[in-house]
Amino acid sequence: MVRTPHGDVRGTYEDGAGYGKIAVFRGVPYAAPPFGPHRFRPPVPPEPWAGVRDAVAFGPTPPKPPYSQAFARYLSDPVVPGDDCLNLNVWTPEPGRGARLPVLVWIHGGALTRGSSAVPVYGGGAFARDGVVLVSLNYRLGVEGYGLFPDAPANNGLRDQLAALEWVRDSIAEFGGDPDRVTVFGQSAGAISIGALLAAPRARGLFRRAVLQSGPPEAFDRDKVRRMVRRMAARLKVPATAEAFAAVDRAALAEAQAEAGKLSSPVLGGPAFGLVVDGDLVPTDPLAALTGQGASRDVDLLLGWTRDEHRLWLVPGGLLERVDRLGSVALAGARARCRCGPEVPRGYRDLHPDKSTADLVGRLVTDHLLRVPLHRLADARLGHAPSYVYEFAWPSRLPGLGSCHALELGFVFDTGATEASAKLAGEEAPRELATTMHTAWVRFATDGDPGWQPWDATHPVRIFDEGEDGGGDGDGDGVVHGPYDRELALWDADARRPPITPASSGVPRRGTAAPLAAVRRFRRAP
């Protein structure tokens, strides 16, 4: 039994799978249910409870549409019904004040529309086994957390995450954690959220280190989010206001969201939900704040990606083959998606003549969305707190996926034996690689050093692959220097080139008529 600011909770001791004896507390409320008067509003503390609250099962998950059948084949996303969805879980080897153990706080991904802390891959037993307190949390998703309305504040899902971190600050010592040794880590939308928290003045002091897995600091264009809300409003036949949406049944809202977002993806673009600059919690673009304004330069960073991020976006549903059939049209669409000049895709073709069109498109978009901003973030922090960069390169045992988006998660959590992890990795994923990667995250949370050379002018990247040295031309410790420097040079040259107008070239450089027509053909392709 542990005391929290809102009441006592009773967890359970669990044993097995090599974890030893650890204490687990699930479904602990950190904020009131975000419904009724709290719907589309910032989180508020939960009502205190009398007596002892059982915390032995995962709490309710936030409203969300299910994954499509194509993606559900690879990704697990449990649903737990109920209103009290702003809850969190704690795995600890030593509950009670005095232990002062390092703390990892997990923020899940899922495009800010899906996912929860109940996904089995995110089990915290291995971290607790290795002396780290693991906290995972739920936050509002989709239109509930990131809808943009004239009558409600923006970024409520991010506000939920901030409230959970404040709960950690105030409560984690009772669970054996050290509030001064908190590391936040997240993947995809979770990493994007952490980028915003790094740039948010209100989050200062809530964590000491941060891990960004396959997600850069970014803010969405406000009109892109508004278009998503308007599409939903048109389907629901209600005004595009928080008041009108709050009167809609949750299931109908989730169904309308799924329909409105069908054509949205990292490769195709399109309307989607995302963090926006709100002048309050997110006062400016997070990447600009971190690279140009010096925000959080005293926070240690671990950041990276998977080698074939794009294959999770393209393989389900057969999009990979469709992109290959489109050929030059797909490359023109990717150019518009990335808002770059023609020299960039041409340079990728020259650098990678053996790659298929789909892999070129995927790599182009992945670099634009992910590797380029993360490289620039690490470069901007030289001379300040260290940054460590990694790449996960082990390919899934399932056909076509390669080293795809989210594949590293079972290795980071050391949960490869779960059925949910095998859905993406296949059977018999290498245990040694899981031990190596999980240990790096434990080391980073413990003392800020994951075990390889910090970022410098030589661009060291730790490659996690089945081979001990990561393959390639590494140093024997899995580190390769500058593996993406040639691609980065193309983007740097493109950024320096002045805009070319339609009148001077006949082909607009920044993605207007001709490339946008290619994008539309790309989306409609059978």
Averaged confidence pLDDT in the chain = 91
Output the CA torsion 451→452→453→458 (10° steps): -160
Q: Quick check: 168 and 134 in contact, CB under 8 A?
A: no
The amino acid occupying position 340 is: C
Catalytic residue, from 166, 309, 391, 408: name it.
309
116 part of the active site: no
Residue 277: which residues within 8 A CB-CB, separation 6 or more?
219, 222, 283, 284, 285
Q: Quick check: 217 and 192 in contact, CB under 8 A?
A: yes
- DSSP H stretches of helix in 172-309: 189-199, 222-236, 242-246, 250-260, 286-291
pLDDT in tens, 185-224: 999 999 999 999 999 999 999 999 999 999 999 999 999 9
Give the pLDDT band (50/70/90) at residue 504.
very low
pLDDT in tens, 268-317: 777 789 999 999 999 999 999 999 999 999 999 999 999 999 999 999 98
Count, in order, helices (H) and strands (E) of the chain.
21, 14
pLDDT at 107 over 90: yes
Helix 222-236, helix 250-260: angle, nearest 10: 120
Give the pLDDT band (50/70/90) at residue 466.
confident
pLDDT in tens, 372-382: 999 999 999 99
Q: Is 181 helix (H, G, I), strand (E, B) or coil?
A: strand
Tell me how far apart the alpha carbons of residues 188 and 209 are, in angstroms, rounded to a whole number: 17
Q: Quick check: 430 and 407 in contact, CB under 8 A?
A: no
pLDDT the model gives residue 513: 39
Catalytic residue, from 116, 188, 265, 396: name it.
188
Tell me how far apart the alpha carbons of residues 325 and 357 are, in angstroms, rounded to a whole number: 8
Tell me how far apart the alpha carbons of residues 492 and 485 are, in angstroms, rounded to a whole number: 10
CATH of the domain at 18: 3.40.50.1820
Q: Which long-range contacts (CB under 8 A, 24 or more apart) does 349-354 make?
A: 351/486, 351/487
Residue of higher predicted confidence among 471 and 434: 434
Give the pLDDT band (50/70/90) at residue 129.
very high
47 part of the active site: no
pLDDT at 524 over 60: no
Residue 382: which residues within 8 A CB-CB, separation 6 or more?
455, 456, 457
Give the pLDDT band (50/70/90) at residue 320.
confident
Whole domain around residue 516: which residue ranges? 2-524
Q: Quick check: 190 and 79 in contact, CB under 8 A?
A: no
CA distances from 475 to 358, 382, 394 (A): 31, 22, 18
405 part of the active site: yes
Secondary structure (DSSP) of 373-407? HHHHHHHHTTTSS-EEEEEE-PPPSSTTTSS-TTT
Catalytic residue, from 405, 408, 421, 487: name it.
405
Residue 43 main-chain phi, psi, to 5 deg = -65, 150
pLDDT the model gives residue 118: 97
pTM for this entry: 0.93
Return the closest-CA partner of residue 186 out of 194, 178, 175, 196. 194
pLDDT the model gives residue 281: 95
pLDDT in tens, 86-103: 999 999 998 888 899 999
Give the pLDDT band (50/70/90) at residue 510.
very low
pLDDT the model gives residue 98: 84
Residue 221 main-chain phi, psi, to 5 deg = -65, 130
pLDDT the model gives residue 127: 96
Domains held by the chain: number = 1
